[in-house]
Amino acid sequence: FHKFLPAMEKLLDFSGPLDVDLLDQVVEALYQGLPQQRDAVQTTLTKFQEHPDSWLRVDTILEYSRSSATKFYALQILETLIKYRWKALPREQCEGIRTYITNLIVKMSMDDATLQREKLYLPKLNLILIQIVKQEWPAHWKSFIPEIVASSKQNETICENNMSILRLMSEEIFDFSSGQMTQAKIEMLKKQFNQEFAMIYELLEYVLTVSQKTSLLAATLKTLLKFLNWIALCYIFQTKMIDLLIYKFFLIPDFRNTSLKCLTEIACIQMGPQDEAHFAKLYNLFMDQLKNILHRETNIQQAFKNGSEDDKEFVQNLAIFLTGFFKAHLTSVEKDYQQATLEGHFYLAEISLVDDREIFKICLEYWHNLASELYNQQPFTTIIHTPARPLRRLLYESTFSKVREAMISRMAKPEEVLITQDENGEIIREVMKGIDEKILYKTMRQTLVYLTHLDQVDTQNLMLEKLQAQVDGTDWSCQKLNCLCWAIGSISGSMTEDDEKRFLVMVIKDLLGLCENKRGKDNKAVIASNIMYIVGQYPRFLRAHWKFLKTVVNKLFEFMHESFPGVQDMACDTFLKICQKCHRKFVEAQPGETKFFIEEILLTLPSIIQDLSPQQIITFYEAVGHMIGTSTDARLNTQELVAKLMELPNQTWAALLISVSQNNEFLRQPEAAKALTNILRTNVRVAYSLRGRYTSQLGFLFIDLLNLYKAYSSLVNQIVATGGPNATKTSVIKSMRSVKKQTLILLQTFIQRSDNAQMVQQNFIQPIFEIILTDYKVNIPDTRDPEVLSLIAVSLNTLKSMMIQEIPRIFDHVFECTLDMITKNFEDYPEHRVNFFNLLRAVNLYCFAAFFMIPERYFKLVIDSIVWAFKHTMRNIAETGLHILDELWNNISQSDVSGPFYQTYFLSLFQDLFYVLTDTFHKSGFKMQAAMIRKMILSVEQNQVKSPLNPQYPAADNSTFLKQYITNMFSSSFPNLTPNQVNELVRGLFLYKDDDAKFQALLRDFLVQIKEFSGGDDNSELFIHDREAETQLALDQRKRMEMAIPGMIGPNEITDVMNDG
């Protein structure tokens, strides 16, 4: 390699001819050489690629290289030239490159053998040609479309490759242009493509009519597929296209899937009422042909299972076609072709039973939309004598019965269920899978709710029939019972209260009987989990029937002693849900009861929880906390109830503290830290559920809690002092720090959930901050708890201006030392970063005046911190930084210090904002960056910035100065921009200062023009805030709509009169 290294350097000598063999060896070394060699090879190749004359050697490389990798490397050089430097080249060189690439492509596609041999290399050449077309067409290459059409008619192999070029061109202009070209250029290219499309369509139709070459026909259909979503309707309905697709290619197995995709693209086009007859006719023609290919009697479920990959793809494509067509044109075919419409829905209902998750999701989305549409034509009403059902509902009555059966038999697992059956038939405990599973369950649940509203009787009958088959054993299956019970739980709230009562009593009665009679621990565990799931989904029923509620809770207490995996977890989780929704029932006097049920629970609490794990006990305590937290009966002393609830943890706490007082070394034992951590976790959840009523319990712990925090902090520091920084990674230190962490979380939860901010500020803040702030400051960075920063931020957000006197002390103890930790790089201490900037934002929002109570150097650090935040590579921190800057700007503009602030920080902040706007790491923050820049320009234009921004010429106009400042900044930072481009940009920034949409569009076009945002970067993130805003608006609208539909929102998602949190 030492001999090879000097030889490699010869490649960088552009004074003589290129040694192509040497270049082949160097490129080969990059992929196959030793790891220690690759860095040097990569450096040489990068230098070669970046040399301004490297593109002049591309033709030599392509002609003489024997390595595909080297040829790809050469094409990368050429691609870079076309993207970044094309407009700087003389016209004759542009035309020379264009001619060379065109001739090379023709040469490579002259015959099938060459086309096959160059099948990896040719697509890259096609992409290079498209990059040239984007630069040249139509201004400098008006004849491009006529040339490509003419060459296609001369040779079928050339024609096949030209189809790939036209397909790429369509994708580049219509699919992938956003963020890659300016809006004006995109519109111009689209317009030109449409104007010249007649020639292209003529070629497509000619090939599809005349050619017998399978590969060419396949390529042409794929190209047509790319055109169909934007071409004019006249090319579809006033030509031979429909006949070719339906009567020729749909009938040939080799082309069936591609032609069906083409028909799907057409089917999904939505135009005005005047064109609906065309689409209805298309559908009817298609259904006539479909019945010849897929007979109505065919068992699609079985055929799919036994079919080839092409057959399975056909079923999926058919589902996409039918659902897409019905979404766009259902009402028109319902009117003119009712029988064909019902046949299409019959096929779709059959396809819904196919054992393929993706196909089912396609069908499910359509059934959800159709059921929703039909429901909204006659929404739920409380009127007893409802009008006759609309005709459209009657039309789909039999179809929907099949769909209900599919939904019930395939119901997805809800998040609450912990016990299920694996692929081997084993009953297991299962944690919830990813987001996809949750979305599937939610969509299925909502669809079933709509279907229940459309025909409640049919839904109930289907469910009760399937349950009876489980009870009598004729169709017993754990998985079938699971799906059935998940479906029963999912329609909670969709029936009237009386109907729900009758239905649920039958279901629970059958399930309890099944649990008693079924043999086998696995079977009993499955039935128990289903009972718990269903009762947890019907809180309205439980609230209305106290005896049943009490029976259910006592049954849950029984399940808490069951050792089968998952049963205890589910019992505790269900108990928590019931307590959240029915809590007041447990602290109200009930007819025929001599005691409040909460008193019975507290008396028997030790025996109830004796078999539970620590985490399950914590859930149990939180649930009981919800009961006590809402007690209003004067006969119940809530402080006594809290004391009784916490009796066992407090006894353990006291015993541990006695051990500590007798032996200081006791705290070093991991078992001690573990026991204390469990007690604190229990207190955290109880503090959450009790809200303000937790104060008495915290009063019991408070002094010992702070002393324990100090003691563990001292121990940690001692161990680290002797063992060095690596000691922080030991299990002993981690267990000790866990006690500190849970202490901080407990205090944070108490402050956040308290209903008496003044009491908290007067009695707790001073002693808490005295301990934790001092401890934080003196600790080494690796032992500083990020929860300290979170606790301070929560205190500020909760107590607001009452905290203002604490700000100087907070800054003195945590500000500078935390900054030292997080400003060395963008990776270390991620939790500290997030919490620190949340703290800073809270200070600005609620204690802004405190900025004038701290030393000036701290304020300078505040500004530096904000800049550091919005330059951060973590999106959440960068956005927090921009929020802080925006809120600080608002506060400053209304204060007496705005003049000095603008003079000191305006220009530097403006420059830093443009820095993050134009780098490639902060695209997702584009909208907020643009808004902040616009706000700063507005503040100058509206004369809010009265102090001179140019200290050298204090009398100069700020607006004129800022324009010149921006011009100079852009000219020096982006030398590839012409003076005219810079001037137009600056003019636009000030012209569109009052129009947010135009201001953002101007900046987006600017970012496309500069090199940093080119080179194949994904610029979709520039639009991320727009997409997120649209998504959020749609979610809000959907939420409001769902709230109006009984049962549409799950019972555990609703905050109702019995659920205050």
Q: Which DSSP string corresponds to 700-725?
A: HHHHHHHHHHHHHHHHHHHHHHHH-G
Q: Which residue has the tokens 């006291």?
A: 654
Amino acid at 309: E
CB 659 within 8 A of CB 672: yes
DSSP per-residue letters across 644-704: HHTHHHHHHHHHHHHHHHH-GGGGGSHHHHHHHHHHHHHHHHHHHHHGGGGHHHHHHHHHH
Token pair, residue 719, equals 């161990």
> How far, in Å, are 755, 984, 1010, 1036 from residue 981 at the CA level?
59, 5, 11, 41
1050 confidence band (pLDDT: 50, 70, 90)? confident
Cα–Cα distance between 581 and 552 in angstroms, integer? 14
- What pairs with residue 178 in β-bridges? 181
Burial of 450 (0-12, 13-18, 19+ CB in 10 A): buried
Per-residue 3-state assignment (H helix, E strand, C coil) for 355-416: CCHHHHHHHHHHHHHHHHHHHHHCCCCCCCCCCCCCHHHHHCHHHHHHHHHHHHHCCCCCCC
Cβ atoms of residues 1023 and 178 within 8 Å: yes
Q: Look at residue 381 and tell me whether its pLDDT is greater than 60.
A: no
- φ, ψ of residue 427 to 5 degrees: the values are -85, 125
Which residue, among 685, 834, 714, 836, has the nearest Cα to 774 in the 3D structure? 714
Q: What's the whole-number mean pLDDT along residues 324-335?
A: 92
Q: Say what the pLDDT of residue 434 is.
A: 63
pLDDT at 251: 94
Q: Which tens digits make up the pLDDT trace of 935-959?
A: 999 999 999 998 898 877 777 789 9
Query: pLDDT confidence of 426, banded at 50, 70, 90?
Result: low
Backbone angles phi, psi at 635, to 5 degrees: -75, -10
Task: Assign 3 a pLDDT band (cuts: 50, 70, 90).
Answer: low
Average pLDDT, the chain: 89
pLDDT value at position 1023? 52
For 910, the token pair is: 């403006």
- What is the Cα–Cα distance from 535 to 545, expressed in whole angstroms? 12
pLDDT of residue 244: 96
CB of 263 closer than 8 Å to CB of 227: no
| Cβ–Cβ under 8 Å, residues 423 and 372 | no
Q: What is the pLDDT of residue 852?
A: 86
Q: Does the pLDDT value for residue 383 go beyond 50?
A: no
Contact 570, 418 (CB under 8 A): yes
Dist CA 70 CA 58 (whole Å):
10
Among 86-90, 111-115, 179-183, 540-544, the least confident range: 179-183
* The token pair that represents 643 in the structure block: 């004391």
What pLDDT is attached to residue 417?
Answer: 63
Give residue 856's pLDDT band: very low, low, confident or very high (50, 70, 90). Answer: confident
Asked whether the beta carbons of 329 and 371 are under 8 A apart, the reply is: no
Q: Which of 854, 842, 747 is nearest to 808 (CA)?
A: 854
What is the average per-residue pLDDT within 195-205? 94
At 1022 the pLDDT is 52
CA distance 293 to 253: 10
User: For 986-1003, what is the mean pLDDT?
Assistant: 92
CA 677 to chain centre: 34
Q: Is residue 1016 over pLDDT 50?
A: no
Name the residue among 846, 946, 850 with its Cα closest to residue 903: 946
Q: Find where tokens 């057409």 sit.
A: 266
Q: Is the torsion defined by CA of 276, 280, 286, 287 positive or negative?
A: positive
Which residues lie closer than 8 Å to 813 by C-beta, 6 or more apart?
A: 773, 774, 776, 777
The answer to whether the beta carbons of residues 901 and 913 sit under 8 Å apart is no
Residue closest to 626 by CA, chosen among 571, 559, 558, 578? 578
Q: How confident is the model at residue 831 (pLDDT cuts 50, 70, 90)?
A: very high
Cβ atoms 562, 571 nearer than 8 A: yes
Which tens digits make up the pLDDT trace of 480-537? 999 999 999 999 999 988 999 999 999 999 998 898 888 888 888 889 889 989 998 9
On the question of pLDDT at 453 being above 80, the answer is: yes
State residue 173's pLDDT score. Answer: 85
Taking CA 449 as the corner, what is the angle to CA 443 and CA 450, rounded to the nearest 5 degrees?
Answer: 90
Amino acid identity of residue 133, one-letter, is V
Cβ(226)–Cβ(236) below 8 Å: no
Q: Of 394, 302, 393, give the one whose Cα is nearest residue 350.
A: 302
The predicted structure's pLDDT at residue 664: 80
- pLDDT above 80 for 1032: no
Cα angle for residues 953, 957, 962 (degrees, 5° grid): 90
Percent of the chain at pLDDT exceeding 90: 67
Distance of CA 924 to the CA centre of its chain: 14
In angstroms, the first-to-last Cα distance of the chain is 69
Q: Kindly indicate the confidence band of residue 1027, based on its pLDDT and cuts at 50, 70 and 90.
A: low
* pTM for the model: 0.77
Rounded mean pLDDT of 805-829?
Answer: 91
One DSSP character per residue, 457-469 reads: HHHHHHHHHHHHH
What's the confidence (pLDDT) of residue 429? 52
Q: What is the DSSP string of 157-200?
A: HHHHHHHHHHHHHHIIIIIS-BTTB-HHHHHHHHHHHHHTHHHH
Instruction: Tell me the per-residue pLDDT of 296-328, one tens digit each, with 9 for 90 and over.
Output: 999 999 999 999 999 999 999 999 999 999 999
For residues 1008 and 182, the answer to whether their CB atoms sit within 8 Å is: yes
- Quick check: 64 pLDDT over 60? yes
Joined together, the tokens standing for residue 1037 give 């609208």
Tell me what pLDDT residue 884 has: 96
Strand, coil or helix: 626: helix
With contact defined as beta carbons under 8 Å apart, do 690 and 629 qualify?
A: yes
Give residue-wise pLDDT tens across range 107-163. Answer: 999 999 998 988 888 999 999 999 999 999 999 999 999 999 999 998 999 999 999
Residue listed under structure tokens 């802004």: 848
What's the average model confidence in pLDDT over 1033-1042? 75
- Between CA 642 and CA 654 the distance in angstroms is 17
Write the CA distances from 718 to 9, 451, 704, 960, integer angstroms: 57, 66, 21, 62
Q: Where are the alpha helices (DSSP H) in 815-855?
A: 816-822, 830-846
Q: Which DSSP helix (H) or strand (E) runs through 86?
A: none
Comparing 280-284, 423-427, 676-680, 847-851, the range with the smallest average pLDDT is 423-427
Amino acid at 404: R
Q: Is 625 exposed, middle or buried (0-12, 13-18, 19+ CB in 10 A)?
A: buried
Task: Yes or no: say if 683 and 690 are a contact pair by the CB < 8 Å rule.
Answer: no
Q: Percent of the chain beyond pLDDT 70?
A: 94
Q: Name the residue among 678, 598, 682 with its Cα closest to residue 632.
A: 598
3-state secondary structure 607-621: HHCCCCCHHHHHHHH
Buried b (16+ CB within 10 A) or exposed e, 87-125: eebeeeebeebbeebbebbeebbeeeeebeebeeebebb
